[in-house]
Structure 1
C-alpha cells in the first residue's frame, strides 16, 4: 500500500513539474523511476510524461538558442554553450532506456535524438574566445581585483580547453599582478635585546600556515616588486621579572601501624580466643617529618601590537593588540625525619631537583612561541585587504 501511494505521489509530482514548466526536473524524476522499475503500474504514466517534458524542454532550448544567435551578442556565447550541453545531457540521460513502449500511447515513446556535436564544438569555441577577450579586458584595467578576476577566467578556459593559445602564461601573469606583496617588519621598542632566532622566526610568515593564494609575505625587500601593503610587529614592552625563590616548611604527622603485639588482660596475661590461640592486635606509633619545599619562578611579559599599513598612502589600516606571558616555574623538596609520615604527592617534589634559572634571552625566546601562535591567529582572522 505504501509503495502504491509513493508511486501515485511521484506521478502527481511529475505532472506538477510539467505543468509548471520545470521540464528537466520532470525528466530526471521519470528517468529515475524507470531506471528503478520500468514494469511497475505507474511506469506508463512516467513514459508519457517523459515524452512530453522532453519535447517541451528541447523546444524551449532550441528557440532560446535561435533567439540568442539572432541577437548576435558575444556575451550570449556562455548561455548558448550551456544550452547545447543541456540538450546533449538530456539525450544521454534518456538514451539507455530506449525503446520505451507505452500502452496508453499504443506505441514507443518518441524522442528525436539529434547529433549536436558540431554545434556544441562551435559553441564551445565561441565561448572560449569570448572568455579570452573578457579576460584581456580585465587585464587591461591593471587593478588587483581585476587581475584576480582575469585569473579565474583563464582557469575556466584551461578547464574547457587546456593549452589554449597563451593562457598558461597569461594565467601566471594575472596571478603575479593580482598578488598582494606584503612587506613585514619588526620594531623593537622595548629596550631589551631580542634573540636573533626569535626575530627570524617571527618574520618568517611561511611557517604560519596561512595558505593565502593571493598574498606573499616578504621580510626582505626584493627588486622589481612594489609593496602596496605592510605588516609591522611592534614590541613595545618586554618586562622580565627577577628570579624568585620561595621556601616553606611543612610538618607531616601520621599515626601508622608499626607491627603487632599480644592482647593482655588486667593481670598481664595473654588473652586467647575460643580455640586457645593468642589474640594479636595492631600496634600503632606516631611519626613525624619536616618537608622543606622550594619554589623557583621567573616570568616575562611581552606586549605590543600588530599594524596593517597601506604603504602607498602611508596610513595605518588596522591595529591589533598582542601580548604574551611566559612563566618559568620549578618546585622541589627535601625532608628530615621519618619518611613514613610523607604523602604520596610529597615524593613527586622530593624526586625533583633544583633547575638553573633560564637566561633573559631564553625567557624571551620561550615567550616567542606563544607570540607566534597569537600572531598567526591575528593574521588568519583578519585579512589585510
Structure 2
C-alpha cells in the first residue's frame, strides 16, 4: 500500500479504505513479527540472534515509516486511527549485544581452522559484526588477520615452449596484474617469488606455438578502359555549316574518347598465430587442477597501387590505393606482440574469474 497515496488523499473520504487497510496490515505485520520473535527466543541455536535482531529492526523501521503520515482519521466515521507504537530500543540493544558476542565467538573459532573456506567465513562474520557495532574489541585487527590467512596466493610465470622470442614488453604487460583490474578479494597474484611466501597455486602461461608467415607481396595487373567526354564539337549540316538552335546558339556535340590505363595493385600480407594455455597447478600436491586453452591471430595487410596510362580510366575503388606506398613489413617481434594482445584479454578474464582458486 502506498503511503504517498494516503498522504495525498489525507482528510478526504476517498482515503478511508486505504487508511483502514493500512491499519489492518500494520497490526497483522506487528503480530506476526512479535510471534516469530517469541518463538525464536525459545530456540537454542545461537544463530537465532541474527534473525531476532533483524525482526526488531524491521518492527522499528515499520512504525517509523508510518509516523510521518500521522494523524490519520476515518473521515466517514469521524474517528482517529490509533497505531500501537512501541519503544524497541532496549530490546534492540539487548539482542544486538547477544548477536555481537555470538558473531565474535564464532569467528574466533573459525580463525583456528586450517581451511581457507572457514577463514573466509570468519572474515564475513567479522565484517557483519563491524557493520553492526563498529570498533568492537579487536575486530579490525582480526579482519586483517582473516584476510591474510584466507587469501589464496598464486605465482604466475610465463613459459616459452616455442622457438620464438617473447617480446619483453609483452611479458611485462602480461605480468602487470594491476592493469588487469583484477577484483577478486581473496586472490593475490605475484609475478615474482617472494621470500618466505608459501604459494597455494602456480599459474603457468605457457606459449606452445607461435607461427609467423613469410612476408608476402602479391601483384595484380588490371587493365582499365573507359569512354569519357573530351570537350565538344559543333553540329554541322550537309553543307558543313554550323547548326544553331532556336535561340541562335551553336549546337554543341560532346566529343567522346576512349582512355586506357594499366593498374598494378599490390597487397602486402603477413600473419601471426599464437597458441598458448593457462595451466593451474596445486603447489601443495604438484598436480595440475585445470587448464585453459588460449589462441589468437593477427593479420597485417596493406594495399597500394601504381599505374601507367590515363588516370581518368581508373575506377574510384582503386584511386585510394594510388595514394598509398609500399610500407615495411612488421618485424617478427611486432607480429608476436600484436597477435598476443587477445591472449592478454583471455588471460585477464581467467584471472578475474578465478573459479579454480
Q: Show the counterpart of 1:111.
A: 83
Q: CA deviation at 1:94?
A: 3.3
Task: Identify which of 233, 239, 243 aligns with 2:215.
Answer: 243
1:206 pairs with 2:178: yes
CA contact (8 A) 1:186 1:234 kept: yes
Q: CA deviation at 1:285?
A: 0.9
* In structure 1, distance between residues paired with 2:43 and 2:265: 91
Q: Show the counterpart of 2:103.
A: 131
TM-score by length of 1: 0.83
Q: Identify if the C-alpha distance between structure 1 residues 165 and 345 changes in structure 2 by more than 3 Å, giving closer, same or farther.
A: same
CA contact (8 A) 2:13 2:76 kept: no
TM-score by length of 2: 0.89
Q: Show the counterpart of 1:197.
A: 169
Q: Identify if the C-alpha distance between structure 1 residues 54 and 352 changes in structure 2 by more than 3 Å, giving closer, same or farther.
A: closer
Moved more, 78-87 or 231-240: 78-87
CA contact (8 A) 2:265 2:304 kept: yes
1:153 pairs with 2:125: yes
Q: Secondary structure at the match of 2:47?
A: helix
Moved more, 277-286 or 60-69: 60-69
CA contact (8 A) 2:156 2:204 kept: yes
* In structure 1, distance between residues paired with 2:23 and 2:312: 94
Q: Identify if the C-alpha distance between structure 1 residues 213 and 340 changes in structure 2 by more than 3 Å, giving closer, same or farther.
A: same
1:37 pairs with 2:9: yes
Moved more, 73-82 or 118-127: 73-82
* In structure 2, distance between residues paired with 1:104 and 1:283: 99
Q: Identify if the C-alpha distance between structure 1 residues 273 and 371 changes in structure 2 by more than 3 Å, giving closer, same or farther.
A: same
Q: Secondary structure at the match of 1:140?
A: coil
* In structure 2, distance between residues paired with 1:327 and 1:94: 67
Q: Secondary structure at the match of 2:111?
A: helix
Q: CA deviation at 1:91?
A: 2.7
Q: Identify if the C-alpha distance between structure 1 residues 96 and 357 changes in structure 2 by more than 3 Å, giving closer, same or farther.
A: closer
The one of the two structures with greater contact order (alpha-carbon pairs below 8 A, sep at least 6) is: 2
Deviations 1:314-354 (A, max 9, x none): 11222222222222222211111112112223221111111
Q: Show the counterpart of 1:367.
A: 339
Q: Show the counterpart of 1:353.
A: 325
1:225 pairs with 2:197: yes
CA contact (8 A) 1:30 1:49 kept: no
Q: Identify if the C-alpha distance between structure 1 residues 62 and 369 changes in structure 2 by more than 3 Å, giving closer, same or farther.
A: closer
User: Superposed, which structure 2 residues align to 1:62-141 within 5 Å?
Assistant: 62-69=34-41, 71=43, 73-102=45-74, 107-141=79-113
Q: Identify if the C-alpha distance between structure 1 residues 159 and 277 changes in structure 2 by more than 3 Å, giving closer, same or farther.
A: same
Q: Show the counterpart of 1:272.
A: 244
* In structure 2, distance between residues paired with 1:256 and 1:107: 98
* In structure 1, distance between residues paired with 2:76 and 2:293: 77
CA contact (8 A) 1:48 1:105 kept: no
Task: Identify which of 294, 305, 319 aligns with 1:333.
Answer: 305
Q: Identify if the C-alpha distance between structure 1 residues 334 and 60 changes in structure 2 by more than 3 Å, giving closer, same or farther.
A: closer
| Superposed CA RMSD | 2.5
* In structure 2, distance between residues paired with 1:46 and 1:173: 54
* In structure 2, distance between residues paired with 1:91 and 1:183: 54
CA contact (8 A) 1:229 1:311 kept: yes
* In structure 2, distance between residues paired with 1:56 and 1:322: 59
Task: Identify which of 297, 313, 332 aligns with 2:285.
Answer: 313
For structure 2, the 5+ residue unaligned runs are none
For structure 1, the 5+ residue unaligned runs are 1-28
Q: Identify if the C-alpha distance between structure 1 residues 263 and 375 changes in structure 2 by more than 3 Å, giving closer, same or farther.
A: same
The answer to which structure has the higher helix fraction is 1
Q: CA deviation at 1:33?
A: 5.1
Deviations 1:31-59 (A, max 9, x none): 56533323343544555555555455444
* In structure 1, distance between residues paired with 2:256 and 2:186: 78
